[in-house]
Structure 1
Amino acid sequence: MSEQTTAPPWYLGRLCGFDTETTGINVEQDRIVTACVVQVGGSQPAAAANWLADPGVDIPEAAARVHGISTEKARTEGRPAGEVIEQVVAALAAVVLSEIPIVAMNASFDLTMLDREARRHGVQPLTEIVGSDMRVIDPRVLDKHVDQFRRGGRTLTDLCAHYKVKLDGAHTADADAVAACRVAWRIAKQHPEIGDASLTDLHQWQTVWARQQAESLANYFRSTPGKEHQADSVRGEWPLIPSQRGGIQ
């Protein structure tokens, strides 16, 4: 009889970091300005694709201060938004069909933004291309699960500091995408229940954990004077918020 070989843990294989910088934080109305899809790990060289889009709307000064892209820069150097969105979706679809997990910090934001932009520009959304094959790793959800009561923030910068991950150029899509992969690697390495899980199981678990975390946050807002109004804006769908125009799970 031949010996059975055990597949290596997911975090030792190829990972695909995905991140966007946007005109704001409203996934239904705001637009993608920059995006990065970067493959790392798996004993192969890193391979990154970066995009700068002209979002077709003014970039608020507050957003420009975060990511450094002004309206003028986007208009003069950016490519048409529809073209960018089509290419980002195609890049991620190729990743999913290669059975590589997408690593995204606060995945429901970036993947929902991409979904709405695709629909806005007449591009077939990622979920309609890959169906249920997508596997997502969200360092934010994982960190909240494995270290629920740790004090302090949970931004990518906070997680990089906690897990001793180098972060150069925070709030640029390429730096944040790579850093998210590194944080996910550290969490998986430190917590065997995460690192040894199958990607399918881990994806499903995060769906539950994200909903529980959202419910906990909403309850906190409801019980905190002055923050009650924020409870209604908390969404627990993961890895993206279904479109009201139909069909996404």
Structure 2
Amino acid sequence: MTSWTEMPLAAFDLETTSPDPHTARIVSACVLRIDGGQVARRHWIANPGIPIPAEATEIHGFSDEYVQKHGHPHDQVVAEVVAELRAVWAEGRGLTVYNANYDLSLIATQDPTFTVGGLVVDPFVLDKQYDRYRKGAGQRKLSAVMIHYGMRLDDAHDAEADALAAARLAWKLPRVYPTLAEFAPDQLMERQTHWYREEGHRYADWLRRNDRDPSTVRTEWPIQTAPESEAA
């Protein structure tokens, strides 16, 4: 058995128009390949073809005027990102994506032919499994998780910075929790799928106990299907 930690890594992140992966469009994207101390970067700016809400601009800094001047057509960016992700997996790399369910679901929504073609490493899922009871509002945000594990993220919500942070967490977590390194790639995929599903069920149960609606809780990973109301 070969540990997933022996695989070369890539990393991926999107900045978008909204928090709903089934309706959001890409504003910027980055795919990194990490080989030792060397990082190869590919970065995109997309014109999403729809207005960028002010609250999204406040988060990532991209305005309508900027993407209209500097962005490439949205469909072109989607196609190039999909080709890059497929190439990463074809090279035998693990793809690190923090909260992969968002980024990969968005890509699958924009390109229904897209499927996961190799290992996905999701530090959001791993951290939540191995340190489930950590308290505090916002403790699962990428910047907070970086601090928790002794690292910094100075430019959060920049696609390149967030992708690199995810890769650093993928390197760090199996050193903090050595049992993580015992999984082969296919085992890690199965475990993450299971852990995400179980966490969703726990959260849904908590909502029910507190007389709240659990219907929006999703349990699929790393790509979730659109709710019926959005798929219709």
TM-score, reference length from structure 1: 0.85
Q: Partners in 2 of 1:174 and 1:199 — Cα distance?
A: 25
Amino acid at match of 2:220: E
Aligned-CA RMSD value: 1.8
Equivalent residue of 1:59, what SS? coil
2:142 alignment counterpart: 156
Pair 1:18-2:29 in alignment: no
Q: Partners in 2 of 1:10 and 1:135 — Cα distance?
A: 8
Per-residue CA shift, 1:92-127, capped at 9, x if unaligned? 0001111211111110100000111224xxxxx331
Pair 1:235-2:218 in alignment: yes
Amino acid at match of 1:32: I
Q: Partners in 1 of 2:78 and 2:49 — Cα distance?
A: 13
Pair 1:65-2:58 in alignment: yes
Cα drift, residue 72 of structure 1: 1.1
Cα drift, residue 169 of structure 1: 0.8
Cα drift, residue 76 of structure 1: 1.0
Cα drift, residue 212 of structure 1: 0.5
Equivalent residue of 1:102, what SS? strand
Q: Partners in 1 of 2:140 and 2:200 — Cα distance?
A: 14
Pair 1:51-2:34 in alignment: no
Alignment of 1:57-206 (within 5 A): 57-119=50-112, 125-127=113-115, 133-152=117-136, 153-206=139-192
- Which range is displaced more, 144-153 or 17-26? 144-153
Stretches of structure 2 that go unaligned for 5 or more consecutive residues are none
Counting aligned pairs with the same residue, the percent is 35
**Alpha-carbon contact 1:92-1:126 (below 8 Å) kept:** no
Equivalent residue of 1:210, what SS? helix
Cα drift, residue 188 of structure 1: 1.0
Cα drift, residue 224 of structure 1: 2.8
Cα drift, residue 12 of structure 1: 4.8
Cα drift, residue 10 of structure 1: 3.0
The alpha-carbon distance between structure 1 residues 12 and 163, as it changes in their structure 2 partners (threshold 3 A), is farther
TM-score, reference length from structure 2: 0.91
Cα drift, residue 151 of structure 1: 1.2
In the alignment of these two chains, the number of paired residues is 226
Stretches of structure 1 that go unaligned for 5 or more consecutive residues are 1-5, 120-124
2:207 alignment counterpart: 221
Per-residue CA shift, 1:65-112, capped at 9, x if unaligned? 000001111111100001101110000000111121111111010000
1:209 alignment counterpart: 195
Q: Partners in 1 of 2:64 and 2:153 — Cα distance?
A: 26
